[in-house]
């Protein structure tokens, strides 16, 4: 742990624990009280702190709260993965300033990791159905001074959001319960319930500008499910697949929840498909030698296919 981040975490944790005892609240709610009182100027850390120290300290506190109150559907996106997606966003999105949406924002950790990494370049939009998580994300965004507009709603219902230049999202995986809404999507299941992650891909595509990029964290078996054929046909019609990456199992506690990254470009007149799709296996992220080989594989592919 770096010491400045440790100090911010201790500051947050002490206040959150005190609120928790005083008001008999779950830790995540007392964490929200803490970040909000910090924003209101009622409490302050002892010294000036940087954006990344604040983001990481809040992330640690959220992880602590999630351990107490297991929320299997709200798994926060791990840092290493956020940084990898940030690297891909930086590589593909060439505008100096651009808009970025995460339709499954959660605690905002993925979005804010990327916004801090490309500091000053991104205006964000986040959609999240869970009230507590979106409020935590909102206070974290204010504390790290990143411009994000928040929508607390079901992201699969109509969104009053202008098309964005890029989308990032660690998609919620599983069945989507609202069959009436699902029926409005091309990727609805022919029979039975539809996959939320497929509907999210369609919704995100609809809200991206032509030629814009989409970066999804997806289940590893995305293209092996019984509804994979329909997803393939939809992607072929609307986008160019840029890359499919397999993430190392070590990133996930349970290998049944293993994931990958899917990078798409929405079709646009004059934009061509890459000569070949970048199929890559991301190595163990804590090994600098294999990671450096991986980055050079990606950058060679980019030069040969995108420039
Ligand atoms: N990237 C996030 C982070 O760093 O905290 C984690 C995203 S988590 C894997 C998926 C999120 O999707 C959860 O927070 C869940 O509440 C949200 N979600 C699930 N279904 C949703 C829906 N229909 N509309 C909006 N958000 C939804």
Query: Separation of 107 CA from ligand 1 center, angstroms?
Result: 8
User: Which among 59, 60, 104, 168 is the best mutation to test ligand 1's pocket, defined by most ligand atoms within 8 Å of the CB?
Assistant: 104
Of the pLDDT bands very low, low, confident and very high (cuts 50, 70, 90), residue 276 is very high
List the one residue out of 123, 122, 170, 121 whose CA is nearest residue 149.
Answer: 123
Q: Is the CB of 146 under 6 A from ligand 1?
A: no
User: Looking at ligand 1, which residue's alpha carbon is closest to its atom 18?
Assistant: 104
Residue 76's pLDDT is: 81
Q: What is the mean pLDDT of the chain?
A: 94
> What is the pTM for the complete model shown?
0.96
Q: Is the CB of 212 under 6 A from ligand 1?
A: no
Residue 75's pLDDT is: 78
Q: Is the CB of 154 under 6 A from ligand 1?
A: yes
Of the pLDDT bands very low, low, confident and very high (cuts 50, 70, 90), residue 118 is very high
Residue 258's pLDDT is: 85
pLDDT tens string 39-57: 999 999 988 899 999 999 9
Of the pLDDT bands very low, low, confident and very high (cuts 50, 70, 90), residue 1 is low
What is the location of CATH 1.10.150 in the chain? 3-68
Q: Is the CB of 173 under 6 A from ligand 1?
A: no
Closest ligand 1 atom to the C-alpha of 154?
24
Q: 79-306 belongs to which CATH class?
A: alpha beta
Query: Separation of 22 CA from ligand 1 center, angstroms?
Result: 30
Query: Separation of 244 CA from ligand 1 center, angstroms?
Result: 21
Query: What CATH code is assigned to 3-68?
Result: 1.10.150
pLDDT above 60 for 254 = yes
User: Which among 84, 105, 196 is the best mutation to test ligand 1's pocket, defined by most ligand atoms within 8 Å of the CB?
Assistant: 105
Q: Where are the beta strands (DSSP E) in 129-249?
A: 148-152, 164-170, 175-176, 194-195, 208-219, 239-246
Of the pLDDT bands very low, low, confident and very high (cuts 50, 70, 90), residue 127 is very high
pLDDT tens string 168-178: 999 999 999 99
Residue 30's pLDDT is: 96
Q: Is the CB of 130 under 6 A from ligand 1?
A: yes
Residue 2's pLDDT is: 57
Closest ligand 1 atom to the C-alpha of 176?
23
pLDDT tens string 195-216: 999 999 999 999 999 999 999 9
Comparing 60-69, 189-198, 241-250, the range with the smallest average pLDDT is 60-69
Task: Determine what percent of the chain is predicted with pLDDT higher than 70.
Answer: 98
Residue 255's pLDDT is: 75
Closest ligand 1 atom to the C-alpha of 130?
16
What is the location of CATH 3.40.50.150 in the chain? 79-306
pLDDT above 90 for 137 = yes
Query: Separation of 1 CA from ligand 1 center, angstroms?
Result: 27
Longest dimension (CA), the chain: 61
| 298, containing H or E segment | helix 288-306
Query: Separation of 292 CA from ligand 1 center, angstroms?
Result: 31
Q: Is the CB of 73 under 6 A from ligand 1?
A: yes
pLDDT above 70 for 72 = no
Residue 241's pLDDT is: 98
pLDDT tens string 3-18: 899 999 999 999 999 9
Residue 131's pLDDT is: 96
pLDDT tens string 76-97: 888 889 999 999 999 999 999 9
């Amino acid at each position: 742990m770096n010491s400045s981040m440790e100090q911010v975490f201790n500051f947050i944790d002490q206040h959150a624990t005190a609120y928790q005892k005083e008001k008999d609240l779950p830790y995540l709610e007392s964490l929200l009280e803490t970040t909000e009182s910090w924003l209101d100027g009622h409490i302050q850390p002892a010294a000036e702190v940087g954006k990344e120290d604040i983001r990481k300290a809040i992330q640690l506190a959220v992880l602590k709260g999630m351990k107490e109150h297991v929320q299997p559907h709200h798994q926060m996106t791990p840092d290493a993965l956020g940084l990898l997606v940030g690297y891909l966003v930086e590589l593909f999105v060439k505008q100096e300033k651009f808009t970025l949406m995460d339709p499954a924002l959660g605690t905002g950790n993925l979005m804010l990791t990327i916004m801090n990494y490309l500091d000053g370049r991104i205006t964000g939009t986040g959609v999240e159905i869970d009230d507590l998580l979106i409020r935590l994300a909102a206070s974290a965004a204010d504390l790290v001074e990143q411009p994000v507009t928040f929508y607390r709603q079901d992201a699969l219902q109509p969104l009053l959001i202008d098309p964005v230049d890029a989308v990032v999202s660690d998609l919620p995986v599983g069945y989507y319960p609202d069959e009436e809404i699902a029926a409005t999507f091309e990727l609805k299941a022919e029979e039975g319930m539809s996959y939320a992650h497929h509907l999210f891909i369609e919704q995100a595509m609809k809200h991206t500008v032509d030629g814009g990029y989409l970066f999804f964290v997806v289940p590893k078996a995305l293209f092996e499910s019984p509804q994979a054929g329909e997803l393939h046909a939809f992607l072929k019609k609307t986008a160019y697949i840029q890359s499919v990456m397999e993430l190392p199992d070590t990133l996930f506690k349970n290998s049944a929840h293993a994931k990958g990254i899917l990078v798409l470009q929405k079709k646009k007149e004059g934009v061509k498909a890459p000569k070949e799709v970048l199929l890559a296996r991301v190595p163990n992220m804590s090994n600098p030698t294999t990671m450096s080989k991986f980055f050079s594989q990606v950058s060679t592919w980019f030069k040969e296919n995108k420039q």
